Amino acid sequence: MASCSYSLKPNNMLLPSFCSSFKSRPFLSNAIFSSSSSSLSLLSCSPRLPLIRTSHAHSLSIKASSSSSSTAIADPEGIKVNSVPTKPIEGQKTGTSGLRKKVKVFKQENYLANWIQALFNSLPPEDYKNGHLVLGGDGRYFNKEAAQIIIKIAAGNGVGKIMVGRDGIMSTPAVSAVIRKQKANGGFIMSASHNPGGPEYDWGIKFNYSSGQPAPESITDKIYGNTLSISEIKMADIPDVDLSSLGVTNFGNFSVEVVDPVSDYLELMENVFDFPLIRSLLSRSDFRFVFDAMHAVTGAYAKPIFVEKLGAKPDSILNGVPLEDFGHGHPDPNLTYARDLVAIMYGENGPDFGAASDGDGDRNMILGKGFFVTPSDSVAIIAANAQEAIPYFKSGPKGLARSMPTSGALDRVAEKLKLPFFEVPTGWKFFGNLMDAGKLSVCGEESFGTGSDHIREKDGIWAVLAWLSIVAHRNKDKKPGDKLISVSDVVKAHWATYGRNFFSRYDYEECESEGANKMIGYLRDLVSKSKAGDKYGNYVLQFADDFAYTDPVDGSVASKQGVRFVFTDGSRIIFRLSGTGSAGATVRIYIEQFEPDVSKHEMDAQSALKPLIDLALSVSKLRDFTGREKPTVIT
């Protein structure tokens, strides 16, 4: 599988090019209330006609930055392309979602350029020569410089057009939406997602192909291979492009189009959801809404969508201006890092609905008044209500899926609705094939990722709109003065019908890699010796394994995706190492227990799960291996 190469076709199908093992098979495609809303308008959508700017490459005097020792290699399309000599750099292997490192690492000479060139070296030329790519990012530090490097290398490799969000801003879900709508060959996202930003922190790059889906491992493995043998970067000798105003700049046959990052995405959301229904809820005087953009990319989307289109009050958007360092924050919408929002929602007279999104806009957190909806419950509840509350699903979802560590709440919905159901490894890239094959509509991860086949990424604003739709639908006949059905009412009614899956995740961030790796090795060894019926305290083992997944569409196999212990009562403890960190190793422990008894549903998750959590800590010997007494984040 790793030797497969893929064609990026604009028809949203992923086709294998030189992959003999597939020749004989049919192949399916794979409180702080921000008062700075005035400056937000700079980033909001203001439709106007694009300007056309034309540059004549031969008259340019500005040189591409690192081209001093380079030689001109071609001038076929009216632009000069320099061959910049380079050497392989170790460690450019992508993780769960793209390549993430400290900014200082990316600023090393040719670090980013090498990876981008290695990517072009990994794609069949017919998929990008004269092709169309999209470029977006979450507004973090280093994006401006990175955008210019990416544009020059794209031009140097013969790309025809690159469509860039204004100021380099475009959320991950919006890039996926734009790739699909514009029938582009693929796109880049400049983001380390929920990791903090700024000169001392993280930067990252992801590549999505023509269906808008994150590149599968078959492509990322190839890119990594090429980073180890790279010797030349093809860089167009063009000046930096002004990304601050909408319009097209031409350089010979290559063009850069700066686009509004919101409009295509907003149009899609208007097709998926019943906007008048949501508006009827948000404009009620007895319903209070807050959205925390965490000074990240959804700041650019929140005002045009929630305020201008859906009638939310302007002061309902918190931290609504994207900043290079996310306002010194950690743009991760969870109970620890979105603490301002949590304080408001759990405070006296808190609002009825609160939500937040992460750095690049693909994660979401949903809160009611004094109530947290776990992401595992959230996807199950969206799936259970999709058909009646969301027009896009009016014929019912085609199938449901979750990542392996996500709780089994969704499984119960699939069972009741008699829908196909899939359990995939952690990371959104595993859902896309199922969607392209028409087997999957609604899916999610416990890590605050929820989405559907409207695009091929998880989608923070979509999840918020899905929840608003459910609450609006339940309250559509309520008159002023009637008591509204709240977020917690919706969740508790769901538990009463399906039972409650208590779930928690413990993260031990930035541990020493050696100890963390040894712990996983120890657990794998334990798994290999375990057998059904083994006693673990009061729990009886059903099975233990290191999760492996065979993609039902293309047959590719992903192994070593997490060590799990599954007990006879359905309880699970799961261990894996993060693939998105930029330093050391982050250990994640996932703990789950099913509770059918309604009288126990009000219990606090940490108390309900205490015996299993203690068991997980003792089975793994985590304290001995990592030296950590306490997790850094509990969800």
* 29 contact choice in ligand VG1, Co ion, none (CB below 5 to 8 Å, kind-dependent): none
Task: For residues 178 and 172, give the distance between their C-alpha atoms in angstroms, rounded to a whole number.
Answer: 10
Closer CB to ligand VG1, 195 or 385, in the complex: 195
Residue 598 token pair: 């309604």
Closer CB to ligand VG1, 485 or 634, in the complex: 634
Structural Rg of the chain based on CA atoms? 24
Closer CB to Co ion, 86 or 193, in the complex: 193
Residue 341 token pair: 């929002």
Closer CB to ligand VG1, 159 or 463, in the complex: 463
Say whether 193 is catalytic.
yes
* 225 contact choice in ligand VG1, Co ion, none (CB below 5 to 8 Å, kind-dependent): none
Closer CB to ligand VG1, 588 or 628, in the complex: 588
With contacts defined by CB under 5 A, how many residues of the chain interact with Co ion? 5
- Residue 234's beta-bridge partner residues? 83
Which strands, in side-by-side order, build the sheet including 132-137?
51-55, 247-251, 254-259, 161-165, 132-137, 186-190, 202-209, 99-102
Task: State the residue number with the nearest CB to ligand VG1.
Answer: 193
Residue 97 token pair: 């979602």
DSSP string spanning 107-134? TSTTHHHHHHHHHHHHS-GGGTBT-EEE
Could you tell me the smallest distance in angstroms from the CB atom of residue 568 to Co ion? 36
Could you tell me the smallest distance in angstroms from the CB atom of residue 457 to Co ion? 9
CA distances (Å), 539 to each of 2, 60, 321, 390, 598, in order?
A: 39, 72, 49, 41, 22
Residue 47 token pair: 């439709």
Closer CB to Co ion, 171 or 385, in the complex: 171
The binder of Co ion chosen from 127, 362, 507, 554 (CB under 5 A): 362
Task: Find where tokens 């294998």 sit.
Answer: 16
* 94 contact choice in ligand VG1, Co ion, none (CB below 5 to 8 Å, kind-dependent): none
* 449 contact choice in ligand VG1, Co ion, none (CB below 5 to 8 Å, kind-dependent): ligand VG1
**What is the greatest pairwise CA distance in the chain?**
78
255 lies in the site for Co ion, by CB under 5 A: no
The amino acid at 142: F
For residue 632, which of 330, 403, 427, 406 has the smallest C-alpha distance?
330
Interface segment toward Co ion; rule CB under 5 A; list 60-68, 359-367, 440-448, 613-621: 359-367
| Backbone φ, ψ for residue 600 (5° rounding) | -100, 0
Task: For residues 154 and 156, give the distance between their C-alpha atoms in angstroms, rounded to a whole number.
Answer: 5
Q: In this structure, what DSSP letter does residue 52 have?
A: E
Interface segment toward Co ion; rule CB under 5 A; list 158-166, 358-366, 611-619, 620-628: 358-366
* 213 contact choice in Co ion, ligand VG1, none (CB below 5 to 8 Å, kind-dependent): none
The binder of Co ion chosen from 138, 202, 352, 360 (CB under 5 A): 360
* 211 contact choice in ligand VG1, Co ion, none (CB below 5 to 8 Å, kind-dependent): none
* 428 contact choice in ligand VG1, Co ion, none (CB below 5 to 8 Å, kind-dependent): ligand VG1
Which runs of E-coded beta strand occur in 293-341?
A: 317-318
Interface segment toward Co ion; rule CB under 5 A; list 294-302, 350-358, 381-389, 418-426: 350-358
Closer CB to ligand VG1, 475 or 578, in the complex: 578
Residue pair 30/433 in contact (Cβ under 8 Å)? The answer is yes
| Backbone φ, ψ for residue 236 (5° rounding) | -70, 140
Interface segment toward Co ion; rule CB under 5 A; list 185-193, 491-499, 511-519, 529-537: 185-193
Could you tell me the smallest distance in angstroms from the CB atom of residue 7 to ligand VG1? 25
The binder of Co ion chosen from 358, 411, 446, 554 (CB under 5 A): 358
Handedness of CA 255, 455, 293, 141 (dihedral sign): negative
Closer CB to ligand VG1, 16 or 333, in the complex: 333
Q: How many CB atoms are located within 10 Å of the residue 59 CB?
A: 6
Residue pair 122/4 in contact (Cβ under 8 Å)? The answer is no
Closer CB to ligand VG1, 304 or 425, in the complex: 425
* 579 contact choice in Co ion, ligand VG1, none (CB below 5 to 8 Å, kind-dependent): ligand VG1
Provide the CB-side half-sphere exposure for 255 (13 A, CA): 16
Q: Which of 193, 211, 469, 578 is catalytic?
A: 193
Could you tell me the smallest distance in angstroms from the CB atom of residue 137 to Co ion? 12
Give the angle subtended at the CA of 387 by the CAs of 386 and 390, to the nearest 5°.
60
* 426 contact choice in Co ion, ligand VG1, none (CB below 5 to 8 Å, kind-dependent): ligand VG1
* 592 contact choice in ligand VG1, Co ion, none (CB below 5 to 8 Å, kind-dependent): none
CA distances (Å), 615 to each of 117, 485, 618, 628, in order?
A: 48, 38, 5, 16
Span 188-247, contacts to Co ion by CB under 5 A: 193
Could you tell me the smallest distance in angstroms from the CB atom of residue 126 to ligand VG1? 29
Task: State the residue number with the nearest CB to Co ion.
Answer: 193
Handedness of CA 267, 272, 276, 279 (dihedral sign): negative
Residue pair 152/254 in contact (Cβ under 8 Å)? The answer is no
- Contacts with ligand VG1, residue ranges (CB under 6 A): 96-97, 193-194, 358, 362-363, 403, 426-428, 445, 447, 449, 578-580, 588
Residue pair 378/467 in contact (Cβ under 8 Å)? The answer is yes
Residue pair 289/351 in contact (Cβ under 8 Å)? The answer is yes
Strand 81-85 to 71-74 pairing: antiparallel
CA distances (Å), 598 to each of 373, 568, 602, in order?
A: 17, 21, 8
Q: 370: which residues sit within 8 A by CB, 6+ positions away? A: 345, 346, 350, 488
Interface segment toward Co ion; rule CB under 5 A; list 353-361, 430-438, 546-554, 617-625: 353-361
Closer CB to Co ion, 281 or 355, in the complex: 355
Closer CB to ligand VG1, 206 or 500, in the complex: 206
Interface segment toward Co ion; rule CB under 5 A; list 44-52, 355-363, 524-532, 627-635: 355-363
Could you tell me the smallest distance in angstroms from the CB atom of residue 212 to ligand VG1? 14
Could you tell me the smallest distance in angstroms from the CB atom of residue 205 to ligand VG1? 12
Could you tell me the smallest distance in angstroms from the CB atom of residue 192 to Co ion? 9
Catalytic residues: 193
Contacts to Co ion by CB under 5 A: 193, 358, 360, 362-363
